[in-house]
Amino acid sequence: MRLDAADIRVRYPDAPRPALDGVSCSVPSGTLFAVLGPNGSGKSTLLRALLGAVPLESGGVCLDEKPVEDWSRRELARWVGAVPQSEPLPFPITARDLVAMGRYAHLGPLQGERATDREAVEAALERCDVTELADRLVQTLSGGELQRVRIARALAQQPRALLLDEPTASLDIRHEMGILELLRGSAECGITVLLVTHHLDLAARYSDRILLLDRGRVAAEGPPREVLTPENVESVYRWPVAVEDDPRTGSPRVVPLRSREAGSAPEG
């Protein structure tokens, strides 16, 4: 599924400047597309805008060439799975039942779960390595475990596109790498993946293209090697960095410098 944003502007009520100002991007089917940028640069807002969850002041969003506002939420949820940065804990409910919420959009209001729905739930639990946790109440899970359950819920939607906001922020190395491998594998199977993250090196290794946001505007967009130049990263993050090629991974690696290593004091 193809995602397109054309010159979108989003302004939250009472905000001094727009959260997004003239942002355009295109994510073709089967691409793993990483969105990077400092805190408050508009990454999460871009994700919401692509999902039709915030009103646009101008510009437009299309999913498979169809304006996002023309999709019903139910139809959209069958095509696009999303994991927002955080959500409140619900009432006591098992991890399996939380993942099963991913099937709601596939069911009529009073229709019971079918075998295909249960299979989709079990497969999603398995892929996120949470099958063992399935009967636990979500209240008893650790932050990282809950995060994997939430990702499993998005997979259970069996979507053609996955949009995730810092999905690996609370995960250990094994599970972080596991989720990134899963996302890479999904992209290889033709699923469009949009990943908001602070992890520059892993974004460089796993993504096809990177969008670098700076205070609501596009600072750079392109393949990792073209976007993650020292000039781009330093000017957007306002911190001195070195970018080296990692021979083992074959990807650029961003090394933030301590002020004495940079030779001059960082500004701000």
Helices (H), the chain: 43-50, 73-79, 95-100, 115-127, 143-156, 173-188, 200-206, 224-227, 230-237, 259-262
DSSP state of 94: B
Nearer to another protein, 135 or 181 (CB): 135
Residues 6+ positions from 2 with CB-CB distance below 8 Å: 26, 27, 28, 29, 62, 63, 64, 65, 192
Residue 51 and residue 32 in contact, taking contact as beta carbons nearer than 8 Å:
no
Residue 147 and residue 167 in contact, taking contact as beta carbons nearer than 8 Å:
yes
Cross-strand partners of 58: 9
Nearer to another protein, 150 or 209 (CB): 150
Least gap, CB of 252 to another protein (angstroms): 32
Nearer to another protein, 44 or 229 (CB): 44
DSSP state of 5: E
**Residues in contact with another protein by the rule CB under 8 A:** 13, 48, 51, 53, 72-78, 80-82, 84, 87-88, 90-93, 97-98, 101-102, 104-105, 107, 109-110, 153-154, 157
DSSP state of 267: P
Nearer to another protein, 68 or 179 (CB): 68
Least gap, CB of 51 to another protein (angstroms): 6
Instruction: Dig out the tokens for 250 from the structure.
Output: 């074959």
Least gap, CB of 88 to another protein (angstroms): 5
Nearer to another protein, 14 or 65 (CB): 14
Least gap, CB of 77 to another protein (angstroms): 3
Nearer to another protein, 81 or 252 (CB): 81
Least gap, CB of 16 to another protein (angstroms): 19
Least gap, CB of 183 to another protein (angstroms): 17
